[in-house]
Amino acid sequence: MYVVIPAFEPGNRLPRLVSQLREADHGIRILVVDDGSGPRYGGVFDAARAAGADILTLTHNRGKGAALKAAFAEVLLLSPESAVVTADADGQHPATDILRVAQRLREDAEADRNDIVLGSRSFSGDVPTRSRWGNAASRVLFRAATGRRIQDTQTGLRGIPASLLEWSVEQPGNRFEYEQNVLLYAGRDGVGLVEVPIETVYLENNSSSHFRPLIDSVRVLLPVALFAGSSLIAFVVDTVALVLFTALTGSLIPSVIAARLISASVNFGLNRRFVFRSRGGRFGRQLGAYSLLALGLLASNIVWMTALTDIGMPLLLSKAVTELVLFVTSYGVQRAVVFRAEKLVSHPAAAHRDPIDEPGPLVNTN
């Protein structure tokens, strides 16, 4: 098993963490990724090497996601049967918590389970405001978008079974958004997520973190917002078309049908290309399944709209109530049935949608 630690301009906590892990579990190999930190930090990486880590050097900083994917590719090359635990370099993950996630991976392997293990913080106690509220917002959006309840969507302490390393390399993103993407697309691809409770640690008010609150929050939350944004766009298109067709024809049901055909086409295209990123040879199956769903939703839409307008509710208000009722069902079916993955990725070479530089040589000190 490997512990992978991406590091950009790390402090002296990194070699201490390596030493603690090596002393606690001699069966674990530690791979530290120098994400373009530069010569100034060479002493820290030398100390980590002396403590028992292998060092993988990237020529310049490419971001946490790129560093993780470079490490996964290296593990696949050197030891493809090895599981991986990812941890942060700033000391926020105690060795005991890292080993707890590693132990869960071992137990799952013995039980033939292949879930991603998340080290989940409770966010109790003295937690920086930006971290507490940032995770709360991400948690709410994540559940709304995927239907999954995750306590800690931003944890960097994760266990990845060997069978999911190739899949992990393929997921998009080079910076902090990469870890959010992994969680988002896990549901799409049928990858299980389990949580293991860990300690909530913020050293020096999290001052060592390279997470930029504004820019990186947008990066992290944007993929989540895409899930909900597509439905909102379709709702706007459907509403505008309904108002126009009703004004032109004076007939509600034909107007509902015409508006829904237009908005459904928009929603299908956006979801397939941008939301679920499900492009390829499954177009016919997806279109057929989506068409059946659209017909069912259309029938429900007509029933609800007719009933509400017949009792005197204004057209736009009845439209809003109807769409709110149908939203949850529509999204759940699209996620679980229409755009479900038929198989996981088969080879990491196809994974680098955002290519990274060739890493420097892997220095093995073991």
Mean pLDDT of the residues in the chain: 81
* pLDDT winner (highest mean) among 21-25, 41-45, 211-215, 351-355: 41-45
Spatial distance between the Cα atoms of 141 and 218, rounded to a whole number of angstroms: 13
3-class DSSP assignment, residue 278: coil
Residue 188 has pLDDT above 80, yes or no: no
Q: What is the pLDDT of residue 140?
A: 73
Which band of pLDDT confidence, cut at 50, 70 and 90, is reported for residue 175? confident
Give residue for tokens 């941890």. Answer: 87
For residue 30, what pLDDT band results from cuts at 50, 70 and 90?
very high
- Quote the Cα angle for 356-362-366, to 5°: 150
Q: What is the pLDDT of residue 55?
A: 96
Pairing type for strands 116-120 and 193-197 reads: parallel
Query: Percent helix, strand and coil across the chain, each rounded to 5?
Result: 60, 10, 30
Residue 365 predicted with pLDDT over 60: no
Residue scoring higher pLDDT (141 or 162): 162
Identify the pLDDT of residue 282.
75
> Helix or strand or coil: residue 341?
coil
Question: Which tokens sit at 116?
Answer: 């991603």
pTM of the model: 0.65
- For residue 340, is pLDDT > 70? no
**Longest Cα pair distance anywhere in the chain, in angstroms?**
79
Query: CA–CA separation, 336 vs 278, rounded Å?
Result: 13
Contact 19, 51 (CB under 8 A): yes
